[in-house]
Amino acid sequence: MRKANAGFTLLEVLVASVIMAVAIAGLLSNLTTSLRNASRLTEYDRAALLARHKMDELLLMPRLPGQQVIEGAFDFTQSGGVESGWKARASIFEGPPGAGPGVEILERVELQIWWKQGDKLRTFPLDGFRKRILLPGEVVLPAGGAPRP
């Protein structure tokens, strides 16, 4: 009986090294993609949080200017050090045709959050609704949706 050599041939070592290199390259590629996706999701989560916070503020304001765009910027500490801001517009969404002052209507608040990601401008839209009383000088048109001064 002959003793078997203890060890691997050069060819076996090279094949094992190539298989290991391919596996590691695939894992690193997946890790890079996962980190990029996590970063992007973090930005969207922050935008959603800022949008909900700003929408709550707008819905609690007693009087928003109708059919006018209002806008502002977020503090760098609020937005994670990213340049960002918001635009909003309130409009009568639904109410009895020809309704006048003192009648309850449904008002729509449209909000858009924006932030800069590198050279690109990203946005996150959000709509909210609230009941309010028509003030003097406001009337709901029969077609609905558009206020008349």
**In angstroms, what CA-CA distances link 121 with 36, 48, 84, 118, 137?**
18, 15, 9, 8, 38
Predicted confidence at residue 147, as pLDDT, reads: 43
Whether 125 contacts 55, CB under 8 Å: no
Q: What pLDDT is stored for residue 71 in this prediction? A: 92
Closest CA to 72 of 60, 57, 62, 59: 57
- Residue bearing tokens 């298989």: 19
| The predicted structure's pLDDT at residue 17 | 94
Q: What is the pLDDT of residue 21?
A: 93
Contact (Cβ atoms closer than 8 angstroms) between residue 122 and residue 115: yes
85-112 burial, b at 16+ Cβ within 10 Å, e below that, comes to bbebbbebbebeeebeeeeebebebbbb
**pLDDT for the residue 65:** 82
Domains and CATH numbers, the chain: 10-148 (3.30.1300.30)
The DSSP H or E segment spanning 25 is helix 10-60
pLDDT in tens, the chain (149 residues): 555 567 888 898 999 999 999 999 988 888 888 887 777 667 788 888 888 999 999 999 888 887 789 999 988 777 777 888 999 999 888 888 777 788 888 999 999 999 888 888 989 899 999 998 887 877 676 554 444 43
Taking a C-beta distance cutoff of 8 angstroms, is the pair 70, 88 a contact?
Answer: yes
